[in-house]
Amino acid sequence: MDKLLSTIQSPADLKKLSLQQLDQLAAEIREALCRLSATRTAHFASNLGAVELTLALHTTFDFARDRLIWDTGHQVYAHKMVTGRYDEFQTMRAKGGLMGYPNPEESDYDLFMTGHAGCSVGTALGLKCGDELARPDEERHVVAVVGDGAFGCGVVFEAMNHAGGLKKNLIVVLNDNKMSICPRVGGMSESLDRLRMAQFYAGLKSEVQKMLNRVPVIGDPVERFVTQ
């Protein structure tokens, strides 16, 4: 049980794993989430849906140097497990245990206590500007992860408009899982729904899957990993 997960002490360990091992690790993380949810209330569904996203982010970037901001913050359980806190994971949301949100007192990988929806993009933009002032010769990637529910917040649009005006190299990952605390409303919600149903979008997704399937050896695992 958790043969791989128990060996992960930092995101650097993830970069040593094959795609098959990452798939196994994702399954072990979900098992750990299920064990936790059987003992106490927790943010269950949002974290189950963010496992592969978390692994992809930590294998692509180096957040010991780069910056990662989670909007709302309640989908960070997998993030906590792979940043050296797996041994304490069963204390999540218990008195004296791990917080159910990012907590800078727990880890340097948690930059802020994000809890309110919509704040990630503006926070990430501020970090990007600050990094460029403090360390102009050092390139740091700054990544904001925001869900489609929080994406409708006005402050998100203000921050994206500001980032575009400043021409900053900011990465915004939209976790479009069609889930939020209540039904989404407004023009952005309708636009995202139309995009998902558009013929060109479905066709593009199908062509990408076909292309990956033609790649020898690694094509099938990559296709499964990126389309989950």
pLDDT reported for residue 208: 65
Q: What is the pLDDT at residue 228?
A: 54
Residue 21 has pLDDT above 80, yes or no: yes
Assess whether pLDDT exceeds 60 at residue 224.
Answer: no
The pLDDT, as a whole number, for residue 158 is 93
- Looking at the predicted structure, is the pLDDT value of residue 219 above 60? no
pTM, rounded to two decimals? 0.78
Contact 49, 75 (CB under 8 A): yes
Q: What is the pLDDT of residue 41?
A: 77
Does residue 223 register a pLDDT over 60?
no
What is the per-residue pLDDT across 112-143, written as a single tens digit (0 to 9) for each?
988 778 899 999 999 999 999 999 999 999 99
Query: Residue 94 pLDDT more than 70?
Result: yes
pLDDT for res 200: 57
In CATH terms, 5-183 corresponds, of 3.30.1360.30, 3.40.50.12500, 3.90.1170.50, 3.40.50.970, to: 3.40.50.970
6 pLDDT tier (thresholds 50, 70, 90): very high
Q: What is the pLDDT of residues 33-49, one digit of tens each?
A: 999 888 887 778 888 99
